[in-house]
Amino acid sequence: MIEARIDRIEKENAALRAAIQNLSKKLDNIQVSGNRPMSVSEAAKFMGMSYHTLYRKLSEGVFPIGSKPNGTRWSFTRSECERYLRGEFSNPSPQKQADEFLKNK
Q: Write the pLDDT tens digit of every residue in 19-41.
A: 888 877 666 655 555 667 888 99
Percent share of the chain, pLDDT over 70: 77
Q: Which letter, b or e, does each residue of 33-51 get, where b requires 16 or more Cβ atoms within 10 Å of its Cβ? A: eeeebbebebbbbbbeeee
Amino acid in position 79:
S
Q: Under 8 Å CB-to-CB from 61, ≥6 apart: which residues?
A: 94, 97
Q: Residue 50: pLDDT above 90?
A: yes
